[in-house]
Amino acid sequence: MSFIDVYLNYSCYNRLKVYYERSQLTGLGRGYLGESIDVLKKGGINTSPYYKLFEELARLFSGDDASIRYGIIPSCIYINYLLNKNMRANYGYLYNEESFKILKLFDHNYSIKKYNNLKNSCESYIRFLDTNEYKSMDVLYELYYLYDQLVSSNIQNNIGLSCAYISLLARHYRNILDIPNVSKFLLSKLESLKELIVEREKNFKLKCSLTLPQITLPTEDTTNSVGHYGKKNKNKKKDYMEKHNMYNIQYYQEQGSQDKKLKTHITCCRGFLIEGLTK
């Protein structure tokens, strides 16, 4: 299990999801793709099995202003999640630590070819996710999808469908808590999303048979890897938030931009470590 928080909050995940779904591989991107593959070939690496993966990474890397809008760290974390998801679904025979070493090399070469530096490289974040970590991410992001459906205009005035989605959300909460060694970072995202769902239930006066208040999440601050910072230790949670949000603050300062719109975009994902920081 990683000590670093790799779970994106709801608002940051949604922004990155929409952004990268629209990202297109440009002509220039194809040029960098070919050049990066050539470097690997010269190093004696058989690139043929990885071509489609390289191509998909190049498409994602074509959306390079995501690192400016939302920050390099959350962008790379999301790209790595997509990469793991794609490989699990379509390239099981390549899904291992050795393949990720090759993918990291491709990322390194691509960044050098495109930027002549590694400032926008995701090399440090491209990695194999173990089963529990991947499953935790996947279920969390499925929860985000279900919440999107719950608040969509098609369902807002349909009590039956609203309760059906709340029931699905509650079941997914129970599933994710069955995963061994659930991290405190994940629990904080679950708690924040739960608050949004409960608020939705109250606002629409829903009386569903299965509701989110019935799902109990750990709230006490603990010293082990499973706990998370709860309401009884707000100062410790605040210190943690301030310490770890330095990543994107530093990135924004390095850009030297005073553009207010740009700053707003970055703020949306600046709190990706702890949901609710920017509320």
pLDDT in tens, 97-112: 999 999 999 999 999 9
Q: What is residue 225's DSSP assignment?
A: S
Per-residue pLDDT tens digits for 192-211: 999 999 888 888 888 888 77
Write 49-57 long-range contacts (CB < 8 A, 24+).
Answer: 49/94, 50/94, 50/99, 50/102, 50/103, 50/106, 52/91, 53/83, 53/86, 53/87, 53/91, 53/94, 53/103, 54/103, 54/106, 55/25, 56/83, 56/86, 57/83, 57/103, 57/106, 57/107, 57/110
Distance CA 69, CA 257 (A): 11
> Looking at this protein, which amino acid is placed at residue 98?
E
What pLDDT score does 185 carry? 92
| Residue labelled with tokens 């006066």 | 205
Locate 36 and state its tokens: 């990066």
Which has more pLDDT, 23 or 270? 23
Above pLDDT 70, what percent of the chain? 77
Query: Is residue 197 a contact partner of residue 169, using CB atoms and an 8 Å limit?
Result: yes
The secondary structure of residue 271, as a DSSP letter, is T
Q: 30-39, 97-106, 161-170: lowest mean pLDDT where?
A: 161-170
Confidence (pLDDT) at 3: 55
Q: How far apart are CA 60 and CA 94, in angstroms?
A: 20
Least confident of 93-102, 151-160, 164-173: 151-160
- The answer, yes or no, to whether residue 247 has pLDDT greater than 70, is no
Residue 131: predicted pLDDT: 92
Q: Is the pLDDT of residue 73 over 70?
A: yes
